[in-house]
């Protein structure tokens, strides 16, 4: 029945009995870096397969969106400062673009991460692997798409006289991190719930639809402060996306202006740490929910 | 000998839900949970089994008796409702060849992706790459997109990646019937080679002659319980005589 081979003792240690299918969550994703890299590369290759423009779509989409918003809001609604319109924002184009690309990074990350578990059901119900890989790789792919937009922004800023300092570099990185952590956390949460209730996708779509409007992407934070008052403005500021967008404005847009507009009070000392903490808390909540639900992914899919 | 698989009194019930919509679930809750939103199905029933390293086990039973479900519990894809599953060493499931393959990627990319999915490291894949391609008899097509492969080529490459993952415990579910006749013989030879090298095999197949050829021990499942466990020949004759 069994052959007579005896295993050397070091092998016995490796073969200690453990319960299969119980991983360590995001720590396992880090351990499977190579697989993560391959999943990201696969997604990048196949996303735009069969399309003539290919990866150029990642420029075209935000480009068109930017132009439409710029004309409608900057010109028609008078948000851009001009000799005839003193009340507007200086360098509105840079203001708008820096916010749009960051929110687009969030939108793409979250909507693909939410669908990632269901879309990979073929793998998940056949082979055990850290399932967190799928939402994480979705965010990673979006970050790769975000990169060329970032490049365009930096070029545009340099042309507008942007000379960043250390503080600007810090707020830029912080803004990006806040969004990446938040999208990963919410992606884990909604990706897992989506296995049980496909309503999750629609809810996320709704959330993303308002994401651009409830943070100061198109308008200035001062307008909110003026209309809402101190208390409600603080509530408004609790949204990590708001803080991330303001951080990006501080990094890219503010240095290209006279600085008269300013950033919200305490952005760097208070709100950026708050944004990072809120995003981290949501990441933990997402991971916790994901781990509670993932045991039954294979049978539900 | 050391234990490769230790399963103690596991139960698994599947909930056959009738809805994936939040609205219907809410309506059901509000109406005081009247009617059946879901039905339960007992797929594994108080099942216990031990397998030692180096054993070759044929898992037998009619369709729906829970063979695939049991393998999924061993690989960790599913978790039991109660009872414990423990495994020693690396377990790899050949549950379905090519589950991780993507038609728009080249054969080469698929080898890397699938190898990593099955738990190989980058260095291991690099080291075994030539051997994988050679075993699959893919030759110069390795850089062609997999969607242009014939189904035989596709299965050969997928199987080849899977057998090169070199785990301690192999779970094989209905995949020995891949490709054409000569390749089937080659797969069989490879499986026997693994058995001879002291690997643990758990094989599910409808081909009883093949199973009798590869395995020494037979386990018969019926409605999610083990009803017979013994030499493979005895178990097969019981299955044939019912
Ligand atoms: N994810 C699932 N959800 C609901 N029922 C399932 C699921 N997977 C398997 N079953 C049911 O469990 C039973 C056992 O299935 P399976 O293990 O695939 O049988 P076998 O491999 O022996 O043919 C079948 O009746 C099947 O319909
Ligand atoms: Mg089956």
Q: What is the pLDDT of residues B185-203, one digit of tens each?
A: 888 888 888 888 888 999 9
Selecting from B20, B22, B77 the residue whose C-beta is nearest the C-beta of A128 gives: B77
Is the per-residue pLDDT at A8 higher than 60? no
Q: Provide the 8-state DSSP code for A280.
A: H
- Which residue CA neighbors atom 18 of ligand 1 most closely? B68
Is the per-residue pLDDT at A204 higher than 80? yes
Residue A292's alpha-carbon distances to A22, A129, A192, B107, in angstroms, are 11, 16, 9, 36
Selecting from B78, B86, B105 the residue whose C-beta is nearest the C-beta of A298 gives: B78
| Residue A3 pLDDT | 43
Q: What is the pLDDT of residues A251-275, one digit of tens each?
A: 999 888 887 788 888 888 899 999 9
Q: Whats the size of chain B, residue-wise?
A: 242
Confidence band, pLDDT 50/70/90 cuts, at residue B90: confident
Q: Do B74 and A20 touch (CB under 8 A)?
A: yes
Q: Which of residues 10-49 of A touch B (CB under 8 A)?
A: 12, 14-22, 32, 34-35, 38-39, 41-42, 45-46, 49
Distance in Å, alpha carbon of B217 to nearest chain A alpha carbon: 7
| Residue A284 pLDDT | 96
| Residue A104 pLDDT | 93
| Residue A245 pLDDT | 96
Among the listed residues A33, A15, A3, the one whose alpha carbon sits nearest the alpha carbon of residue B91 = A15
Confidence band, pLDDT 50/70/90 cuts, at residue A89: confident
> Would you call A266 an interface residue with chain B, using a CB distance cutoff of 8 Å?
no
Selecting from A3, A20, A123 the residue whose C-beta is nearest the C-beta of B87 gives: A20
Is the per-residue pLDDT at A13 higher than 80? no
Is the per-residue pLDDT at A6 higher than 60? no
Confidence band, pLDDT 50/70/90 cuts, at residue B179: low
Q: Which of residues 29-48 of B touch A (CB under 8 A)?
A: none
**Distance, CA A114 to ligand 2 centroid (Å)?**
30
Pocket of ligand 1 (CB under 6 A): A 299; B 14, 16, 41, 43, 61, 63-69
Q: Which residues of B touch A49 (CB under 8 A)?
A: 104
**Which residue in B has a C-alpha nearest to residue A131's C-alpha?**
B77
Q: Which of residues 98-137 of B touch A (CB under 8 A)?
A: 99-100, 102, 104-105, 109, 112-113, 116-119, 121-122
How many Å apart are CA A62 and CA A102, to the nearest integer? 10
> What ipTM was assigned to the predicted interfaces of this complex?
0.85
3-state secondary structure of B202: strand
Which residues have C-beta within 8 Å of that of residue A196, sequence separation ≥ 6? A293, A300, B20
Buried b (16+ CB within 10 A) or exposed e, B45-61: bebebebbbbbbbbbbb
Distance in Å, alpha carbon of B36 to nearest chain A alpha carbon: 17
**Pairing mode, strands B217-222 and B200-204:** unpaired
| Residue B98 pLDDT | 67
Q: Where are the domains of chain B?
A: 56-80+90-240
Query: Looking at residues A4-24, what average pLDDT do you find?
Result: 64
pTM above 0.95, yes or no: no
| Residue A35 pLDDT | 93
In chain A, how long is the greatest CA-to-CA distance? 92
| Residue A5 pLDDT | 43
Structure tokens of B192? 């026997």
DSSP strands (E only) in chain A: 17-18
How many Å apart are CA A292 and CA B77, to the nearest integer? 15
| Residue B178 pLDDT | 60
How many Å apart are CA A195 and CA B97, to the nearest integer? 24
Residue A53's alpha-carbon distances to A57, A59, A266, in angstroms, are 6, 10, 43
Q: Which residues of A touch B217 (CB under 8 A)?
A: 1
Structure tokens of A275? 């944004």
Confidence band, pLDDT 50/70/90 cuts, at residue B160: confident
**Size of the A and B interface in Cβ pairs below 8 Å:** 121
Which residues have C-beta within 8 Å of that of residue B238, sequence separation ≥ 6? B220, B228
| Residue A67 pLDDT | 92
Give the rounded percent of residues in chain A with a pLDDT score beyond 90.
48
Is the per-residue pLDDT at B34 higher than 70? no
Selecting from B20, B21, B77 the residue whose C-beta is nearest the C-beta of A21 gives: B77
Q: Which of residues 271-290 of A touch B (CB under 8 A)?
A: none
Q: Where are the domains of chain A?
A: 24-300
**Distance, CA A293 to ligand 1 centroid (Å)?**
20
How many Å apart are CA A279 and CA A249, to the nearest integer? 19
Are A186 and A110 contacting, i.e. CB atoms less than 8 angstroms apart? yes
> Would you call B1 an interface residue with chain A, using a CB distance cutoff of 8 Å?
yes
Query: Average per-residue pLDDT in chain A?
Result: 87
Is the per-residue pLDDT at B129 higher than 90? yes
Q: Which atom of ligand 1 is nearest to the CA of A300?
A: 1
Superfamily in which the B56-80+90-240 domain is placed by CATH = P-loop containing nucleotide triphosphate hydrolases (3.40.50.300)
Structure tokens of B102? 């993507």
Is the per-residue pLDDT at A7 higher than 60? no
Query: Looking at residues A38-63, what average pLDDT do you find?
Result: 81
């Amino acid at each position: 029945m069994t052959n007579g081979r005896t295993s050397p003792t070091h092998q016995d240690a490796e073969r200690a009995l453990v319960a299969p299918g119980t991983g360590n969550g995001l720590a396992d994703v880090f351990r499977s870096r190579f697989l993560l890299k391959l999943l990201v590369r696969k997604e990048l290759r196949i996303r735009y397969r069969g399309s003539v423009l290919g990866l150029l779509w990642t420029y075209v989409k935000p480009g068109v969106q930017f132009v439409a918003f710029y004309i409608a809001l900057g010109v028609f609604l008078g948000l851009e400062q001009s000799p005839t319109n003193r009340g507007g924002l200086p360098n509105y184009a840079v203001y708008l673009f820096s916010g749009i690309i960051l929110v687009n990074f969030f939108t793409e990350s979250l909507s693909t991460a939410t669908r990632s578990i269901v879309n990979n059901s073929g793998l998940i119900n056949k082979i055990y692997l850290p399932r967190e890989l799928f939402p994480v790789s979705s965010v990673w792919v979006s970050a790769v798409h975000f990169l060329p937009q970032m490049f365009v922004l930096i070029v545009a800023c340099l042309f507008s006289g942007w000379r960043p300092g250390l503080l600007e570099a810090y707020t830029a990185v912080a803004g990006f991190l806040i969004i990446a952590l938040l999208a990963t956390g919410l992606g884990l949460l909604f990706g897992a719930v989506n296995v049980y209730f496909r309503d999750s996708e629609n809810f996320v779509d709704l959330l993303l639809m308002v994401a651009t409007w409830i943070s100061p992407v198109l308008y200035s934070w001062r307008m909110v402060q003026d209309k809402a008052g101190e208390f409600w403005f603080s509530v408004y500021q609790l949204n990590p996306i708001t803080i991330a967008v303001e951080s990006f404005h501080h990094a890219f847009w503010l240095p290209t202006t006279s600085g008269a507009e300013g950033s919200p009070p305490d952005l760097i000392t208070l709100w950026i740490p708050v944004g990072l903490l809120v995003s981290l808390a949501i990441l933990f909540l997402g991971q916790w929910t994901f781990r509670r639900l993932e045991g039954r992914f294979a049978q539900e899919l | 000998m050391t234990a490769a698989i230790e399963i103690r009194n596991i139960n698994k019930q599947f909930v056959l839900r009738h809805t994936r919509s939040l609205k219907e679930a809410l309506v059901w809750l509000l109406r005081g949970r009247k009617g059946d939103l879901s039905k339960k199905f007992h797929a594994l029933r108080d099942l216990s089994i031990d397998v030692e390293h180096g054993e070759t086990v044929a898992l037998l039973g009619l369709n729906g008796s829970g063979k695939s479900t049991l393998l999924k519990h061993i690989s960790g894809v599913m978790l039991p409702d109660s009872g414990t599953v423990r495994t020693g060493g690396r377990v790899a499931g050949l549950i379905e060849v090519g589950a991780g393959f993507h038609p728009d990627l080249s054969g080469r990319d698929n080898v890397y992706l699938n190898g990593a999915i099955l738990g190989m490291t980058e260095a291991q894949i690099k080291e075994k790459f030539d051997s994988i391609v050679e075993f699959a008899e893919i030759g110069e097509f390795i850089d062609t997109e997999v969607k242009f492969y014939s189904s035989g080529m596709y299965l050969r490459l997928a199987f080849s990646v899977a057998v090169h993952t070199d785990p301690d415990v192999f779970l094989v579910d209905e995949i020995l019937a891949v490709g054409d006749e000569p390749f089937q013989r080659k797969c069989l030879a490879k499986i026997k080679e693994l058995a001879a090298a002291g690997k643990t095999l758990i094989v599910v197949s409808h081909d009883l002659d093949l199973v009798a050829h590869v395995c020494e021990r037979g386990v018969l499942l019926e409605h999610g319980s083990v009803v017979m466990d013994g030499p493979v020949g005895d178990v097969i004759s019981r299955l044939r005589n019912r």
